[in-house]
Amino acid sequence: MTEGTLEIDRISKRYGAKVALDGVSFDVRAGELFGFVGSNGAGKTTTMRIALGVLAADGGEVRFGGRKITHETRTHIGYMPEERGLYPKMKVLDQLVYLAELHGLSANEAHRNAENWIGRLGLAERRKDEVQKLSLGNQQRVQLAAALVHDPAVLVLDEPFSGLDPLAVDVMSGVLREKAAAGVPVVFSSHQLDLVERLCDRVGIIRSGRMVAVGTVAELTAGGGSKLVVTAPGAQPGWAAGLPGVRVLEEGATTVLGLDPSADDQAVLAAALATGPVTEFSRRRRSLTELFRDAVSDKGER
């Protein structure tokens, strides 16, 4: 299957009176890592299941390469569910070969791919073990191998980093970057926002079944001015009060100031120097975590 864009186009889903998804739209481009974030119950997993065809949408459409997703298309999607989707009593190698063959690979291709991903993901010593006897972290590695073993054209991963130790996070991150570099659209959900910020080309934030923000981290965190971190050991409380376009956010040994776009940081520096030595004076943009809190705080999701 050729490279293409995965398009989620105005999909909606209801469960009785509850609106789970309300016109959700975003796309994941070829070669892109897209982070899909939101509070628990916001609609991430429902969206992913509809993209896979596990659930039917009440409205809207999912397309890949400009064409509506079909059963044939789905065989080229690698899916990693948040909950374990493996056969607990099957051995690791047997399971991966079986799943690869289900996706249409020959027995030889299935074995070759299974052994490749077992080696890549550090599971060689566990290849003959039953899945249920593995640690949760190793089960997560097998789950990723299951999503990759058939050489998918699209990757959809629900909380792939959950329960992984730092070394396994690095391995997982490297694999996702590699697949994106090969032209595969990769979308994954995660509550580890620092990881999303570090890995992703673009991010989408969903709140109560609606997309509230989509863009690069730089685009999403650019609004609302910036912050200045100022350490002036001799400064008295209130030294920055009254400076045009400046808000005091935190005050102490180190003062954190919010700057409106019109604020003059050189005037702030002059005011700080007037109090004595300045040992730190640096700009700090909003983090993805701060942006996320702002985006989901209005309605207090559960």
247 and 130 co-located in one domain? no
> What is the pLDDT, as a whole number, of residue 219?
85
Using one digit for the tens of pLDDT, what is the confidence trace for 121-141?
Answer: 999 999 999 999 999 889 999
- Over the chain, what is the mean pLDDT? 90
pLDDT in tens, 242-289: 899 999 999 988 999 988 878 899 999 999 999 999 999 998 877 788
Q: Is 244 inside any structural domain?
A: yes
CA atoms within 13 A on the CB side of 301: 18
What count of Cα atoms within 13 Å lies in the side-chain half-sphere of residue 108? 0
Cα–Cα distance, 34 to 27 (Å, whole number): 9
**Domain span including residue 231:** 224-285
Asked if residues 43 and 209 have their Cβ atoms less than 8 Å apart, the reply is yes
Residue 156 lies in a domain: yes
Distance, CA of 251 to CA of 237 (rounded, Å): 7
Q: Are residues 170 and 257 in the same domain?
A: no
Over residues 225-233, mean pLDDT? 87
**Which pLDDT score is estimated for 301?**
40
Residue 111 belongs to some domain of the structure: yes
Distance (Å, whole) CA 243 – CA 38? 36
- 262 with 186, same domain: the answer is no
Cα separation, 120 vs 130, in Å, equals 19
Same-domain status, 270 and 154? no
State pLDDT tens for residues 151-206: 999 999 999 998 888 988 999 999 999 999 999 999 999 999 999 999 999 999 99
Q: Which amino acid is at 190?
A: S
Q: Please give the structure tokens belonging to residue 189.
A: 């959900």
Percent of the chain with pLDDT over 70: 97
- Residues 88/95, Cβ–Cβ less than 8 Å: no
> What is the CATH classification number for the domain harbouring 149?
3.40.50.300
Please tell me the total count of domains within the chain: 2
47 or 291: which carries more pLDDT confidence?
Answer: 47
Look up residue 22 and give its two tokens.
């309300």
Q: Mark whether 54 and 145 lie in a shared domain.
A: yes
Length of the chain: 302
- Is the model's pTM score more than 0.95? no
Residue 300, pLDDT > 50, answer no
Same domain (yes/no): 124, 273: no
Whole-number pLDDT of residue 156:
96
Residue 221 has pLDDT above 60, yes or no: yes
Residue 299 pLDDT exceeds 50: no
Residue 240, pLDDT > 60, answer yes
Look at strands 67-68 and 59-64 and give their pairing: antiparallel
8-67 tens-digit pLDDT: 999 999 999 999 999 999 999 999 999 999 999 999 999 999 998 889 999 999 999 899
Measure the CA angle with vertex 50, ends 44 and 209; round to 5°: 40
Q: Which DSSP string do the residues of 92-134 spell out, in sequence order?
A: HHHHHHHHHHHTT--HHHHHHHHHHHHHHTT-GGGTTSBGGGS
pLDDT band, very low/low/confident/very high, at 294 (cuts 50, 70, 90): confident
Which pLDDT belongs to residue 2? Answer: 58
